[in-house]
Structures are given as C-alpha cells and as structure tokens.
Chain A
Amino acid sequence: MTPLRLRVDRERCIGAGMCALTAPEVFDQDLEDGHVLLLHTEPPRAQTTAARMAAGACPSGAITLHEPDPDAGSS
C-alpha cells in the first residue's frame, strides 16, 4: 500500500502552529520565521491519524494530503 504523502505550502502558511501542536512528530515551525516545516513527507503509519488531523486543523489550507490510491494495493 502506498503511504500517505504530505505537501506544505509555505506561501499559504500563517504560522498559527496548529500542525506543530497537533502532530509534532510530523510538523515543526521554522525557529526564525515560524513557517511550517515538514519533518516527514511520508509520515510513519503511527503518525498518519495525527497528520490528517493537522491538515484538517490548518487554518490557511497550507497542508495537502495525497491519499494512497486504493487501487494500488490491498492490505
């Protein structure tokens, strides 16, 4: 099964920190300018729920999810 893939858009980011608060294993904020930092483009399985929640919580839509293709394989 292809893993969940994440993308972040620094231009859209407003530095609210919801991602780093919700999924600190997956997201951080640049210490200088506060923008989102993606720690894992493909988060480990244990982190996918938190990563999804963080994407949903992002106030500016700066995180996009690329869901695994359901036809690519089955578990």
Chain B
Amino acid sequence: MGESVHTVTTMPATRQPGCPFDPPAELLDARRHGPISRYTHPGGKPGWLITGYDLVRSVLADPRFSSRKELMNVVDFELPPAPPGEFLLMDDPQHRRYRRPLMGRFTVRRMRMLSERIEQITADCLDAMEETGPPTDLVTAFAKPIPTIVICEILGVPYEDRGSFQEQIDTFMGGETSDEELIAAYTATQEYLAELVAAKRAKPTDDVLSELTDSDLTDEELRGISLVLLAAGFDTTANMLSLGTFALLQHPEQLAALRADPALTDGAVEELLRYLSVAKTFMRTALEDVEVGGQTIKAGTTVVLSYHTANRDPERFADPHVLDLRRQHDGHLAFSHGIHQCLGQQLARVEMRVAFRALVDRFPTLRLAVPAEEVGLRPETADIYGVKSLPVTWDKGRS
C-alpha cells in the first residue's frame, strides 16, 4: 500500500450528520492517507486534492500555480476569463492592477479606526433583537446586517439600496440555485453596480468607490471590483458570525470562558476562523510540471486545496478537531496565503471581535430555539459554508 496514492473520486455533497463544523468524512479520510490525493473533477478531468497544511500553503505561495479562471481544467469546455476587476481569478500583473489601489483602504490601522462605528451598528442590531424577540433568527437579525452595513458604508452603497442586491448575492452564494437564477441575479447586480459607478462618477462622495473613479480604471473594471468587495465583504463574515455562534452554543464551556474573559476575544476569533474555515476550498492550475509532496502535477492540471482540512491537520495543530479558544495561533489558512490572501481580513477581524463580544455580553442566556440537528446548513457545493438560519432564544428580562 505504501506506494499507492489515495484517490478521491467525487467531492462530497454533505457533511456527516451531527458534525456540522467538521470537513466531510471523505476529506478527513484523504488527509489520513497523506497530504495529497488523486482526484477527479466533476467534469471528469483528472486533478489532485491537497489536504495537508504544509502542501496547501506551499502551493498558495508558488507562482507556478495560477488562479486564472480560463486555465481551470475542471470541465470539458473552456471557461471564459474572469470579467475585468474580478481579481480573485487572475494572476499578476492583472491581479495587482486591481488590488494595489485598494490596499491602503483595508490596513490594520484603518480598520481599527472603524471599531467604534462597528460597535454602534452591532448595538443597533442587538437592540432590535431585544425589542422584537425572543425568539429570533440570528442570521437575519445579526450575522448578515452587521457586515453588510459596514461594507456598504466603506464602498459607498446607499443604505436604501442594500436589500435588493443582498438578496441577489445570497442567490449566487447559496449554492442551491439553477443556472437561470444565477444568471438573472448576476445580471441584476451588474446593472445595479453600473448605475452606482455612474452615480459616483457624476457626484463623488466620501467612500472607496468614489476614490477609485479618480484613477485609470474603467467602468467595467469598477463594477467587477465592487462586486468582489461586496460579495467577499459580507457573505464570508456573515457566515462566520452565524456559524461561529452556532459553534459557540454547541461548546458551552468555551462560550462560558469567552463570556467570562474579554481578553480571550481576539484569540477566539482566530480559533473560530481556523475551526470553521467557511471559505473551504480554492483551486489552482499548474503552469508547468511541479512536484508536490512526491507527486508530479502536470502542467495544465487543476488542484483543489481544502483549507478547512488543512486547518485541521494533526501535523500542524494539536487536537485539531477541538475548538479551543485559548489556542495560541501562529498561522491558519482561513484567509488563504500567497498574493491572494484576503484583502479584507483586518476588517473581518474587527467585525468579528466586536460582534461576538457584544453578542455574548448582551445575551448571557442565548441558546438555540430548535434542536441542533434541525439547523439548516448550506450544502458543500456553496462556495462559502454556513447555516441558512439560526433560530435562537433567551430569557427575557435577564436578556
């Protein structure tokens, strides 16, 4: 058996019942066999699946692996290149053209300066929960509105326009939509963003999109950048907040420790990022033959990188499947690695630190309002994992 390479034939569609926070059993099994497995893409193309922390990290840092959408060798037809501005699926120098003008807007310092505003937005959400509940759906009352309001304010999306495109972005991030619905949602969002870009050009306001109009970026590029910032800015953090709350409620001793000790908050956020890794997998394509973990990845072959499984690698993390808010962190892959590492990660950190802290402080008796197995989960096919809704309740008066 020593020479044979483990093979994973299909990406599992669901997680093990009763294990909503763990990678699917097939992926954990693959990691047990070794950090790299043979894999067949859904379109039948041969590929590789990488589940080991060190190998995932090395591929992400390796310029011989490409992010370009048109090079993804996963289906039996050619994929078009990413639209202008959608820089996640591009390599340098195109990627850099779009990332550079944004870098100064998402620094550690700038994001910390937003703390007070995020505290206010969070307090407003919690006030509304107290007025109308219990019970409430934590996704719609808390997890979605906080990052949505924040990224809209940063980008310059008027408050009253939020609802419509949030629905559309939900449609194409949910993982359960027909192609027709997907195209309709994408088109509607593009139309909205075209109007928004035109409005900022005509009358710049104090926000990132207005600033970007003062550059050589075209309208089409600005639409693409805006879409990336909006989708990345709220679907990821929203799912971390809701799935993270679910995870805390299922680990009462950890929740109690967090509630008792505000100094645990920053570490708790890093541990929830590692443990949940809601951006589960990304792909890269080899530009030349590359040796990875003793296997040769042929030029043109696409590899699937499981961040979630890598963040549970027992060779990297002691007791990797244990949620331990006191764990000392020195590098998880939840925000990726390499030149595509999350641009908005410092914003996400501030949002999560503020929001989790305020939630546990405000509602000491917070608990699920339904049995845990009835909490609806996104399918593994969704780009970002999470709960569909999270019914919670608490003791009124004591909050």
Q: A residues engaging B (CB < 8 A)?
A: 14-18, 20-21, 24, 28-35, 53, 56-57, 59-61
Contacts and interface: CB of A to CB of B under 8 A. Distances in A.
Given A20-B109, A29-B109, A56-B331, A15 B104 contact: yes
User: Which 8 A/B pairs are nearest by Cβ-Cβ distance?
Assistant: A15-B103, A34-B103, A59-B341, A34-B104, A29-B107, A20-B108, A17-B108, A33-B104
Given A21-B346, A57-B330, A59-B61, A15 B337 contact: no
Given A59-B336, A59-B341, A60-B338, A53 B107 contact: no
B343 A16 contact: yes
Given A34-B104, A59-B339, 13 more contacts: A15-B343, A16-B342, A17-B108, A21-B346, A29-B108, A30-B104, A33-B100, A33-B103, A33-B104, A34-B105, A53-B330, A60-B341, A61-B61
B168 interface: no
Main secondary structure of the interface of A (DSSP, over half): loop
Categorize the interface residue count of chain B: 20 to 34
A30 B105 CA distance: 10
B331 A20 contact: no
A14 B104 contact: no
Contacts of A56: 330-331
B379 to A, nearest CB: 29
Contacts of B342: 16
B106 interface: yes
Contacts of B100: 33
Nearest to A16: B341
Interface of B: 60-61, 99-100, 102-110, 330-331, 335-339, 341-343, 345-346, 349
11 contacts: A15-B103, A15-B106, A17-B106, A17-B345, A24-B108, A31-B104, A33-B103, A34-B104, A34-B106, A60-B338, A60-B339
Contacts of A20: 107-109
Given A28-B109, A53-B330, A35 B338 contact: no
A14 B345 CA distance: 12
A15 B339 contact: no
A31 B110 CA distance: 8
Contact of A16 (B60, B61, B110, B345): B345
A47 to B, nearest CB: 16
Given A15-B99, A15-B104, A31 B109 contact: yes
